[in-house]
Amino acid sequence: MWKSTTHRYGIIARLLHWSMALLLAALFVLGWWATELTYYDPLYRIIPNLHRSLGVLAALLIVLRLAWLVVDRRPAPSAAASRWERMAAQSGHALLYLLMVLVPLSGYLMSTADGRGVDMFGLFELPALLGPSSGREEWAGRAHYLLAFGGAWLVLLHVAAAFKHQFIDRDGTLRKMVG
C-alpha cells in the first residue's frame, strides 16, 4: 500500500511523483515567466520570489524522494521491454533524478552568489551556505537555464515513453503510477 509492489508504485512513491510533476511544471513556467516580466509589471517581484520558494520546496522533495528510493523497491519493468529498452528507461530515470538535484542546486548557487540567502514565501530566509563569489551568478545561471531546458525535454521523452508503453505496447505501464 505505502510501499511499491512488483506491479505498481506505492502511495508514497505516487505522491512524490505526482506532486513533483505538478511542481516542476509550475516551476518551469514560473522560471520562464520571471525572465520575461517588465519592471513595472505588478508581478515583477512576486513571480521570481514564488519560483525561488517553490524551487526550494522541490529540492526538499527530491531529497525525500531519493531517500525513499533507497527504502522502497521499484515495480518490475514491462515484460514486453527489450534489454536496451530497460537500460534506456533506467538511464533516463537516473538522469531525471540527477537533473532534479542539479537544477535547484544551480538556482540556489545563482541566487546566493552575493552571499545573501533566499527568501522563502516571505516567511523565513534560507541562508547562503557559501560566501559571496563574483561571477558565480553567471555560470550558475547559465547552468540553471541549460539543465532546466534539458530536463524539460527529458520529461517530454519520459511522458512519450509512458504513452508508447500504454497505447502501442499495451503493457499497462500507466497503471503502475495511476489508478
Residue from the set 40, 70, 79, 84 that interacts with other proteins by CB under 8 A:
40
- 114 is an interface residue for other proteins by CB under 8 A: yes
Least Å distance, CB 130 to other proteins, is 12
- 47 is an interface residue for other proteins by CB under 8 A: no
Per CB under 8 A, the segment of 16-24, 62-70, 84-92, 107-115 that binds other proteins is 107-115
Q: Are the C-beta atoms of 54 and 111 separated by less than 8 Å?
A: no
Alpha carbon of residue 68 to chain centroid: 15
What is the rounded CA–CA span in Å between residue 106 and residue 148? 10
Give the torsion sign (CA, 78, 79, 85, 86).
positive
Residue 120, all three cell numbers: 522563502
Contacts of 161 (CB under 8 A, 6+ apart): 89, 92
Task: Give the nearer residue to other proteins in terms of CB position, either 78 or 133.
Answer: 133
Per CB under 8 A, the segment of 24-32, 95-103, 104-112, 161-169 that binds other proteins is 104-112
Q: What DSSP element (H or E) covers 124?
A: strand 124-126
What is the rounded CA–CA span in Å between residue 122 and residue 25? 22
Task: Give the nearer residue to other proteins in terms of CB position, either 40 or 153.
Answer: 40
Q: For the chain, what is the radius of gyration of the CA atoms?
A: 18
Residue 126 φ then ψ, to 5°: -80, 120
Task: Give the nearer residue to other proteins in terms of CB position, either 16 or 140.
Answer: 140
Residue from the set 10, 77, 141, 172 that interacts with other proteins by CB under 8 A:
141
- 111 is an interface residue for other proteins by CB under 8 A: yes
- 137 is an interface residue for other proteins by CB under 8 A: yes
Least Å distance, CB 19 to other proteins, is 27
- 110 is an interface residue for other proteins by CB under 8 A: yes
Task: Give the nearer residue to other proteins in terms of CB position, either 40 or 84.
Answer: 40
Residue 7, all three cell numbers: 506491479
